[in-house]
Chains A and B, each alone.
Chain A
Amino acid sequence: MPPFHVHLVCFLFVVTAISCNDSSPQQRRTEIDRPPAGPSNEPPSTTTGQKLASVIETYQEQTRRFRQNQHSESASDDKNRGNEAETATLPQPEIYAQQLIDIMNRNPKGPENIDAVHWILTEVNSGPTRDATIQLLQTDYFETEQIANVLPVLVDGYPDKNSMQLIEKLATNSRHHRVRAVATMARVKGQQALTRFVGFLENPKWTERMKTFVDKPTLEYYQAAVKQEFDMESTLQELIDSYGQHDFGIKTNGRPVEQIGPMATDMLFSLQHLQIGKSAPKLEGQDLDGLTFSLAEYRGKIVMLDFWGDW
């Protein structure tokens, strides 16, 4: 499993996501096999938190081992590759997710469960274990403040209907200020994601490809949701005015935590200034050699402003 930010990047590259092998839903969707025998030989004093952590560690260890095998195979004789590659398979996160769910079900509403919930939502893009986890959030954690930690992961990628409905309910009904803050931002992000999705879908060149990213109910939900009235501008203003001090989620691998205020400010700026027909914002900074220059120097020319990276 690549680190979390790789998934993020795969998603962000909607157009090029097709070449991003690891995270396309249909690749991740494998049949859920019977979970391997649970950790039955553990000492009875093991806490739920430890049990959950141990499942995640096992998964990470298996993944590491798989990567190592793969690496040494590709380095060794190519002729032997076929057979060996079949014996070592990438561990399926769904199997471990099911183990986590079983443990959590024996300890309902435990505050330590939320890290495992976060893990499942990060690693499993779709399918019954993800659905069950969202259901668990709804039933056991709706009233908690902790639920705010996992909402950003729900809208990372293309959110499903259940996620969006949970987020909408929390944005209005949670008694915790932080939960309402994070849920409102998640709502905005989800709305943006599905609007972007439908935009790509309407481009005949991408229609078929886009359909492979979400299931049919999600697709239908998106098509209905883009038509719903949603005042993005005033929601962003509300986030800046009332919820700006909260963090959006928790720190994860390779991804800094963002604060809702600056996030919303940037998003509002984009909505007001980065649209076709608007004056390009000022841009000044250092070039790769450390010399200062500015976009304004190119006035009089057509400028192709190219956000690029060599990766």
Chain B
Amino acid sequence: MYPHEQLLVKKLAGKPFAIVGVNSDSDREEIRKTVRQKNLTWRSFWNGPDGKFGPISRRWDIEGWPTIYLIDAKGIIRHKQMGGETEPLDREITRLMKEMGHTVDLSSDPGQDPTHDSSQ
């Protein structure tokens, strides 16, 4: 998933877009290292030492990882998906951008299988 997130950050630079993470690793020090090593630039809440059973993922009814919510500029939930499939995600971001008057092209490179990018 990271490459796609990094791609979105890059392609949507200067646009009203932000990735906000909720990290569900139980070891905060380890994940801080990973964030530095992989240069993950977006800010993340931490779900606490209980990892996947932490309070934020409970409240937000997370049944699998990754799960992504898209929230529009007014704070309304507009899209929700379980899994890192990039096609519906990109489509919805493009649609929300258009509502705000921004035309963006997020089409992935042809031939690239979006389901395989989670293994880094």
Binding site for B on A (CB under 8 A): 9, 12-16, 196, 255-256, 266-267, 269-270, 274-281, 283, 285-289, 293, 295-296, 298-311
Contacts and interface: CB of A to CB of B under 8 A. Distances in A.
A193 B45 CA distance: 28
A276 B77 CA distance: 5
Nearest to A303: B71
Nearest to A15: B83
A306 B75 contact: no
Contact of B44 (A9, A270, A275, A288): A288
Interface residues of B, number: 64
A305 B50 contact: no
Given A288-B32, A305-B69, A276 B18 contact: no
Contacts of A13: 64-65, 83
B22 A299 contact: no
A274 B43 contact: no
A302 B24 contact: no
A299 B64 contact: no
Contacts of A267: 61
Given A303-B18, A307-B62, 7 more contacts: A288-B35, A298-B18, A303-B19, A304-B69, A304-B70, A306-B42, A310-B34
Given A298-B18, A304-B8, A305-B20, A280 B64 contact: no
Given A279-B75, A288-B28, A307 B22 contact: yes
A293 B43 CA distance: 9
B64 A277 contact: no
B58 A308 contact: no
A269 B59 CA distance: 8
B7 interface: no
| Interface core residue of A13, A196, A280, A304 (most chain B CB under 10 Å) | A304
A278 B43 contact: no
Contacts of B50: 256
Contacts of A304: 5, 8, 17-20, 68-70, 89, 93
A308 B21 contact: yes
Contact of A278 (B35, B76, B79): B76
A302 B9 CA distance: 12
Contacts of A285: 45-46, 56
Contact of A301 (B18, B24, B77): B18
A237 to B, nearest CB: 17
A300 B66 CA distance: 24
